[in-house]
Amino acid sequence: MMSRKLLEESRDGYLDNENSPFLISNYGYGKDSVKVMHVVRNGLVHTIKEFEVGTKLKLRSQKDYLEGDNSDIVATDSQKNTVYLLARKHGLTSPEEFGILLCHHFLGKYPHVEEVSIHIEQYPWSRIGFGTGPYKDLHNHAFVYEPTALRYTDVTQKRTESKPTVISGLTDMRVLKTTQSAFVNFVDDEYRSLPDQHDRVFSTVVRSSWQYSTVTGVDFDYCWNKVRQCILNNFAGETEKGIFSPSVQHTLYLAEKQVLETIPEISCIDMTMPNKHYFTFDFSKFPKIVHETGAKEETVYVPVDKPAGIIYAQLDRKSDQHVKSKL
């Protein structure tokens, strides 16, 4: 796990001396993979949050690089300790809020720090439940790891900026539906071998990130869950009939569009949906066996994930063109 690269590299750079042909065009340092768990014990009911945190600082001076002078360095071990101390003092709420807290701390504590970048991944712990439906009995202090999607955030702030840039996202959300998907009427020329597919298996691993236009009064947990819900709604549709997908591109666009329509605090969103193909197995070479067993060709598929088509797009608000996208 790596914290996000510090944004907007300096194009002027820093010479190691006036006559040098070389310059430092970008720099920074920090601590990656700091694992922290916070437990809240409210009587018999316990609640947990577990994060993996990466910190990165950019200092005003480059004398640590150019002269070997370490006097301005906030040691990466000190950055690690800061994660635990702030978690102890403030607890862990959302990854975004903790990332903003860390940015404010490093910029407020160290006047020679010019920029801070924080990357946080949240571990997907869920309370164990027994039973079904609304009558499920949730356990007071036992949890299960359910990695259906990985939640992360990148929070970056420069000293010259009044507020941090918050980019959140999800990765590794694999979904599949067995019908209500087609791909037809695409370019037909001498390079084409793929036939029209009027009813196919549609599977992908969704990665998406989005940028907030504000950080004031935002319920980041609600927003993350709502984005996930928008993606699943436009992929799957209602439970009985589903929703038809004429292409991955159209499904991706509808999901992004619904996110911007329902969450005004998000200024732009990007999404990637690689195809995870499932091709029908060719039983034509086994007619005797197929005839005897009555096997249906369409019930057996060969999963093929490489090579894979890759579909992506970013959707912005026209009204937020003044908000520079850093996705």
Q: Label the pairing between strands 29-42 and 45-59.
A: antiparallel
One-letter identity of residue 25: S
- Reply yes or no on whether 49 is catalytic: no
User: Is 189 marked within a binding site?
Assistant: no
| Residue 69: CB atoms within 10 Å | 12
Q: Are the C-beta atoms of 6 and 56 separated by less than 8 Å?
A: yes
User: Is 200 marked within a binding site?
Assistant: yes
Distance CA 15, CA 47 (A): 51
User: Is 76 marked within a binding site?
Assistant: yes
User: Is 183 marked within a binding site?
Assistant: yes
- As beta bridge partners, residue 284 has none
Cis peptide leading into residue 307 (ω within 30°): yes
Reported as half-sphere exposure (CB side, CA atoms, 13 A), residue 74 has a value of: 26
| Residue 140, both tokens | 């007071």
- Reply yes or no on whether 163 is catalytic: no
Q: Are the C-beta atoms of 301 and 275 separated by less than 8 Å?
A: no
User: Is 185 marked within a binding site?
Assistant: no
User: Is 321 marked within a binding site?
Assistant: no
Distance CA 192, CA 55 (A): 48
| Residue 171: CB atoms within 10 Å | 15
- Reply yes or no on whether 318 is catalytic: no
Query: Of 47, 76, 171, 178, which is the active-site residue?
Result: 76
In the 8-state DSSP scheme, what is residue 190? T
User: Is 248 marked within a binding site?
Assistant: yes
60 contacts: CB under 8 Å, gap ≥ 6 = 72, 112, 113, 114
For the annotated binding site for urate, the residues are: 76-77, 183, 200, 248-249, 275
Catalytic machinery residues = 31, 76, 277
For the annotated binding site for 5-hydroxyisourate, the residues are: 76-77, 183, 200, 248-249, 275
